[in-house]
Amino acid sequence: MDLIPTANQPIGPFYHFALTPGWSTGDNSAGVMAGPEARGERARLVVRVLDRDGSPVTNAMIELWQADAGGKYNHPADTREKTADPAFHGFGRLATDDQGLCVFETVKPGQVPGLKGKMQAPHINVSVYAPGLLRRAVTRIYFDGEPANLSDEILGLVPEDRRPSMLARPGAEPREWCFDLHLTGPCETVFFDI
């Protein structure tokens, strides 16, 4: 008897239903990570998800996790003596719109120590869920022009010609950062194998 493998099935276009607030009404409250009293440099982060051809992915979901402006995660696993900013919760989740965009209101994160205690460049951890992905894709967003990028151990593992795929660039508006996340193709964003 011959066994024929079952074909892979992508996750359907419905998977972010009820995972993002108000996905059908435009409620983007899960994209507001920093309250009005949050400390640090405010940042409006515009994430655009693109496919192989550079076309927008209109039914992806993006999750962000980051430290506050002082470099403290709002999580029990961050046991350092610092106090987390109570006006900043560090987590955001949004679905992309019909242009493949989602916009987060946050702060530029502070530096956090790596596994060996060396300080990492300010970065935002990103998980991407989209049709065609059987598992989430994981990457980081670094900030173009940040001096600490030059000594970041994780960014240093990425071939130099691929590092720009992990950089947010200043946008047209003050305090705006733009990040194009390419799921595949010649401009593919560097993803981590975790």
Query: Per the domain annotation, does 37 fall within a domain?
Result: no
What percent of the chain clears pLDDT 70, i.e. is strictly above it?
A: 87
Give the mean pLDDT of 87-102.
Answer: 94
Query: Per the domain annotation, does 5 fall within a domain?
Result: no
Q: What is the pLDDT of residue 28?
A: 60
Query: Per the domain annotation, does 50 fall within a domain?
Result: yes
Number of folded domains in the chain? 1
Of 77 and 63, the structure prediction assigns the larger pLDDT to 63
pLDDT digits (tens, 9 = 90+) for 111-121: 999 888 899 99
Query: Per the domain annotation, does 107 fall within a domain?
Result: no
Q: What is the pLDDT of residue 75?
A: 87
Range of the domain at 88: 44-59+68-75+82-99
Query: Per the domain annotation, does 93 fall within a domain?
Result: yes
pLDDT above 70 for 164: yes
Query: Per the domain annotation, does 25 fall within a domain?
Result: no
Give the mean pLDDT of 87-105.
Answer: 94
Query: Per the domain annotation, does 186 fall within a domain?
Result: no
Q: What is the pLDDT of residue 191?
A: 97
Residue 67's region, left for phi above 0, alpha for psi from -120 to 50, else beta, is beta
pLDDT digits (tens, 9 = 90+) for 21-39: 554 455 567 889 999 999 9
Q: What is the pLDDT of residue 7?
A: 59
Report field, pTM of the whole predicted structure over 0.85: yes
Query: Per the domain annotation, does 53 fall within a domain?
Result: yes
